[in-house]
A and B are shown apart, each in its own frame.
Chain A
Amino acid sequence: AQSVTQLGSHVSVSEGALVLLRCNYSSSVPPYLFWYVQYPNQGLQLLLKYTSAATLVKGINGFEAEFKKSETSFHLTKPSAHMSDAAEYFCAVSSTGGFKTIFGAGTRLFVKA
Chain B
Amino acid sequence: KAGVTQTPRYLIKTRGQQVTLSCSPISGHRSVSWYQQTPGQGLQFLFEYFSETQRNKGNFPGRFSGRQFSNSRSEMNVSTLELGDSALYLCASSASGTSGGVSYNEQFFGPGTRLTVL
In B95-116, the 8 Å CB interface with A consists of 96, 102-105, 107-112, 114
Return chain A residues, CB-CB under 8 Å to B42. Answer: 103-106
Cβ contact of A101, chosen from B4, B92, B111, cutoff 8 A: B92
Return chain A residues, CB-CB under 8 Å to B48. Answer: 98-100
A49 near B105: Cβ-Cβ < 8 Å? yes
What band does the interface of chain A fall in when counting residues whose beta carbon is under 8 Å from B? 20 to 34
Report A107 CB to chain B, min CB distance, Å.
Answer: 11
What band does the interface of chain B fall in when counting residues whose beta carbon is under 8 Å from A? 20 to 34
- The answer for the CA separation of A105 and B43 in the assembled complex, in Å, is 7
Q: Give the segment of B50-58, B68-76, B77-85 that binds chain A.
A: B50-58
- The answer for the CA separation of A100 and B58 in the assembled complex, in Å, is 8
B31 interfacial by beta-carbon distance below 8 Å: yes
Mark each residue of chain A from 29 to 51: 1 if its CB lies under 8 Å from any CB of chain B, else 0: 00010101000011111100101
Given known A-B contacts A100-B33, A101-B33, A42 and B45 have beta carbons under 8 A apart: no
Given known A-B contacts A43-B90, A103-B42, A98 and B109 have beta carbons under 8 A apart: no
In the assembled complex, 25 residue pairs joining A and B whose CB atoms fall closer than 8 Å, in A order, are A36-B109, A42-B111, A43-B109, A43-B110, A44-B90, A45-B109, A49-B105, A51-B103, A51-B104, A51-B105, A90-B43, A94-B105, A98-B55, A98-B56, A99-B33, A99-B92, A99-B94, A100-B56, A101-B33, A101-B35, A101-B45, A103-B42, A103-B43, A103-B44, A106-B43
Instruction: Please report B residues at the A interface, Cβ cutoff 8 Å.
Output: 4, 31, 33, 35, 42-45, 48, 50, 55-56, 58, 90, 92, 94, 96, 102-105, 107-112, 114
Instruction: Please report A residues at the B interface, Cβ cutoff 8 Å.
Output: 32, 34, 36, 41-46, 49, 51, 53, 90, 92, 94, 97-106
